[in-house]
Chains A and B, each alone.
Chain A
Amino acid sequence: MPNNTMSSHLAAQRYILPVSQASFPEPFAQTLEFNAPVRGPWNIVHMALQIPEAHLLYICARGCLRGVIMTAAEMGAMARLSWIGLSEEDLTSGLLDERCFQAICQIVTKLARRPPLILLYLSCVHQFVQMDYPALLERLKARFPDIRFMDCHMMPTMRKSGPTDEERTKSKIYEALDKAGQTDARAITLIGNDWPLARESVLYQMLAKAGYSLRELARCQSYADFQKLGTSCYLLTTHADALFAAKNLAKRLGLLHLDLPASFTFSEIEKGLRELSEKLAIPLPDLATCQAKAEAALTRLKSELGARPITLDYTLSMRPLSLARLLLEHGFCLVGVFLDAISAPEKEDFLWLQQHAGDLPLIATRAPSLRFARLRAKELGFQGDNVLALGQKAAFFSGSDHFVNLVAGGGLNDYWAIHELARLMREAAAKPKDRRSLIQLKGLGQSSCLGGFACEARLTRPETSDRARRA
């Protein structure tokens, strides 16, 4: 390869960029990827096992099976996950469809208890050999009329060309909902969140005070509870990765849908809550007071942190750039944001940062160079316990034991999220954590044979693990 071509490639592969030079939504060129030893974010197994009594069945090559199987094994949930391994001959014989059907039948008849729902995960290779999914599902439906089969997909090769596996799983989870029974005019379903909504959030308080019950997957105790999610009068989403699911579900069941992005920007929070108030015709609390309380929490935090450097990453919250904006607007010393892509709801925050904080570094978490501590120390310019890290990846790359240990927002929302995050930041600044142990636990908040429950946000504990054990 000519040298001049190489130079331009290298220039395009910078993995630390001032936000002013970054492009939306992919700031970094795609190249080889490093996988940081950070395991808190949930995967498709954690998400799917939230459906009470459901069973998961994966059909793929061994290398693909291993990750999902061991996720369940560490959770102590192997009784809820089965697998079928593909051989080269299976893929080339032309008999894949028939063999899959027979193997599924074999597995299902072995299960000690017939599950009401089986999430059947097929993989990239099925797509490449053009397996006939609908025909397989029809045959299974005829063979096991008491079980509902959902064709789910684990297709990481398509991760960058459509919905991610996580988005697809969230969509498929809610595809299993039927329009069973009458619509409950006093119930709202919040869909797509891994963690139950904090009861202290303004969103929850508004609904509760107006007499609405909030239904969430994370609080379902039985399959019957799960089915009730489809009988509410309204669907709410707060996380962008659930929009795909929400739109599909709203259309299929004829439900209304309202998106209230879990933002850290006061104007966006207010806009969402006002819209909720108008759509449901329910009272709006004194938002100025709510904001003042959040502002006070930030002021107290600022007085304690002073100019202490802060880093944050995309695993902490679905809105890392909104959080970055909040911190910078309130005078905090934010020195870097770790992310690999920018989601659509963050575009406005991204543009704000470009305009008002153009030097803020965006740092790719998958960059091979960041595998090496000597390069991290040299390239990042910050390292060690002086850094207050928000999120597990920020903690790892910053080399700091002072970190906030949350993933996917931890159930925090609106003004309460800011208030609670300020508390967690104060705690993290004052007291170090066992970073090495904590960030290696798979699926933060899930039960794990490697260690105890590790969640620090209040009232955000999901009940999946207990259900997994019972099952």
Chain B
Amino acid sequence: MNDCAAFLPTYASDTSGVASALYELGGMTVIHDASGCNSTYSTFDEPRWYDQESFVVISALTESDAVLGNEQKLIDDCVQQARLLSPAFLALANSPVAMLTGCDMPAIAGQIEAELGIPCFAVATNGINSYVLGASRALVAVASRFCRDTPRSPEKSLNLLGATPLDLGSLEFSAICSWAESFGLRLNACVAQNCDLSHIERLGAAHVNLVLSSTALALAHALQERFGTPYVTGRPFGFFADELASFLLLAADTQKSITLPRTENPQSRSVALIGESVAMASMARALAHYGFGQSRIFCPLEAWQEVLGPDDAGGEENEDALAEFLEGADLIVGDPLYRLLVKEGTPFLPLPHTAFSGRCYLNAAPSLTGQGLEEVLAREGLC
């Protein structure tokens, strides 16, 4: 039991990641869990829940149905509701109890699809892993069913991948969309915010993919394999925005992927960053410009070694391990709720992350794209 905390929250789970990734695509996402358990996702992990309608429901799994293996009820309920409300597809996500009882979700999905004639797929979840894994698998699954074989667009274009509200607040997302169209590439598709299923269908037309979060790394791999589309990982924070734009243009020209290289300057100040790997690796690059050239990242989520470096750590949500990791840093960066672990006198840059602090700082999340970062650093007295 490496994941435990006396004071800190935990990250959103894989089922929330599935629902968030598929939210705007016109499907029906069914989380196979007990009545009331969808309140967690819809309250804390889904800022769109009140204002934007989406067909995310829970199966209201009961003890007796779980113990007796009454999976026919899930099938019947899905079929009935889908016939009433005609979703474009169905996605099924599993919970801890259904995992323990060995519920065969892919088989159930197959049966539902056979009855309805509507695409239905299972996303491998268990309510134990983080949103990164859930969203990642959901994006790959939906793309594998709906992405079409299309020729590259006449103008050079890019896709934004991994833009769920769990990682990107609305201000940040708008700023990234504006930035993405400012340096000579046309925005082809965005997955999966401010989009619909047509964005998934035309993913193959882009010349390059920008992976904004580790939730989309697997999708980027899949698109590279299927279409040969290269990808670049990164978020356009501060001065790093220009560098990232040049990486994207280079990748679009050469058709070779670029994983964010880390820069180290042993003579400069140190920064410890806590959070999702792509965002924190990008922030490390951006902060190097302000004299924090020695960076190390603690990613409590499923680690993606492709993005993290040898001095980085993570893969577990353990307060003690994290507190030790933060020792000696000249600056600490992370969600405001991590401030509890920061020793008095150590500068802290608070970057709200919905997948961690939920709604607590939703309205306070700034845009860090381009000059936005400088404004935040100035406000915190860090530049």
Contacts and interface: CB of A to CB of B under 8 A. Distances in A.
Interface of A: 1, 6, 9-10, 13, 30-35, 37, 39, 60-67, 69-70, 73-74, 78-79, 82-88, 90-91, 99-100, 102-103, 106-107, 110-111, 123-125, 127-129, 155-161, 366, 368-369, 371-373, 436, 440, 442, 449-450
Contacts of B6: 82, 107, 110-111
A127 B77 CA distance: 26
Given A66-B10, A70-B44, A372 B53 contact: yes
Contacts of B95: 61, 63
A87 B340 CA distance: 25
Secondary structure dominating the interface of B: mixed
Contacts of A442: 43
Contact of A33 (B16, B35, B340): B35
B186 to A, nearest CB: 34
A107 B44 contact: no
Interface in B59-109: 59-64, 66, 76-81, 83-85, 95-97, 99-101
A65 B360 CA distance: 17
B7 A63 contact: no
Contact of B13 (A31, A63, A158, A372): A63
Which 10 A/B pairs are nearest by Cβ-Cβ distance?
A: A63-B127, A67-B40, A85-B3, A63-B13, A156-B34, A61-B96, A32-B57, A70-B44, A84-B4, A37-B50
Contacts of A60: 96
Contacts, number: 212
Contact of B81 (A32, A123, A161, A440): A32
Given A62-B127, A74-B360, 20 more contacts: A6-B80, A9-B80, A10-B80, A61-B128, A62-B3, A63-B40, A64-B40, A66-B12, A78-B7, A84-B1, A85-B1, A100-B1, A102-B1, A110-B319, A124-B34, A156-B37, A157-B34, A157-B63, A371-B54, A373-B53
B8 to A, nearest CB: 7
Contacts of B49: 37
B4 A83 contact: yes
Nearest to B11: A62
Contacts of A369: 84-85
B295 to A, nearest CB: 27
A70 B358 contact: yes
A229 to B, nearest CB: 28
Contacts of A85: 1, 3-4, 10, 128, 317
A100 B3 CA distance: 11
B12 to A, nearest CB: 6
A440 B50 CA distance: 9
Nearest to B355: A66
A380 B13 CA distance: 35
B239 to A, nearest CB: 32
A316 B5 CA distance: 35
A31 B80 contact: yes
B38 A35 contact: yes
A337 B177 CA distance: 45
